[in-house]
């Protein structure tokens, strides 16, 4: 025999909104304050470029995802696939000081996967990760150390995308 509990007005259900954008920056969860995305069709180059920019709450760091794909037609679609070739996929992590953004170094590995794209409502969902390496030099130009920046486990969900035609 099973017992049932009658619900009352003090019972509550908590729902959590889906995460719009986050990633692990050197192993620490990073959630930005602002996120924007565009899909730009370039008629001259016959390409579409998806750019997503996320900036943290202090304005001290940002992540930029940048995908370019060949495009024969003018439309707001984006191919569902993994982009990992640095010819088409160019993500970057920047630190920001005094209003100037400084890259964490050249990309060593990079991927962005578009897992869903709603062309009607212009919403993108996907995952990403990349590693940047920066060589540090002494006053004589000798490499003294290497700084590695890892952006891993990144995700964006139903991210609104603005379509631009040039």
If you average pLDDT over residues 104-118, what whole number do you get? 92
pLDDT digits 0-9 by tens, 41-53: 999 999 999 999 9
pLDDT tier at 16, thresholds 50, 70, 90: very low
Q: Return the higher-pLDDT residue of 72 and 129.
A: 129
Tokens 């030099």 label which residue?
137
Per domain, the residue ranges of the chain are 21-165
pTM of the complete model = 0.82
pLDDT digits 0-9 by tens, 58-90: 778 999 999 998 888 888 889 899 998 777 889
- Number of CB atoms found within 10 A of residue 1's CB: 2
Residue 155 clears pLDDT 60, i.e. is over it: yes
Distance from C-alpha of 107 to C-alpha of 150, rounded to nearest angstrom: 10
Distance from C-alpha of 34 to C-alpha of 53, rounded to nearest angstrom: 8
Query: What mean pLDDT, rounded, does the chain reach?
Result: 86
Cα distances (Å, whole numbers) of residue 95 to 22, 25, 55, 69, 103: 16, 12, 10, 27, 7
For residue 7, with 0-12 CB atoms within 10 Å meaning exposed, 13-18 middle and 19 or more buried, which class applies? exposed
């Amino acid at each position: 025999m099973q017992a049932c509990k009658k619900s009352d007005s003090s019972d509550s259900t908590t729902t959590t909104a889906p995460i719009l954008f986050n990633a692990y920056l050197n192993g620490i969860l990073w959630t930005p304050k602002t996120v924007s995305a565009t899909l730009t069709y370039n008629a001259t180059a016959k390409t579409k470029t998806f750019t997503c920019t996320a900036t943290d709450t202090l304005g001290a760091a940002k992540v930029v995802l940048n995908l370019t794909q060949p495009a024969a037609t003018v439309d707001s679609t984006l191919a569902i696939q993994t982009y990992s070739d640095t010819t088409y996929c160019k993500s970057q992590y920047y630190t920001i000081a005094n209003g100037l953004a400084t890259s964490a170094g050249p990309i060593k590995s990079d991927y962005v996967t578009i897992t869903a794209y709603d062309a009607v409502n212009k919403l993108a969902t996907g995952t990403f990760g990349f590693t940047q390496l920066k060589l540090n030099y002494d006053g004589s130009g000798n490499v003294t150390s290497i700084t590695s920046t890892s952006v891993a486990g990144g995700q964006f969900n139903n991210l609104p995308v603005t379509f631009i035609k040039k």
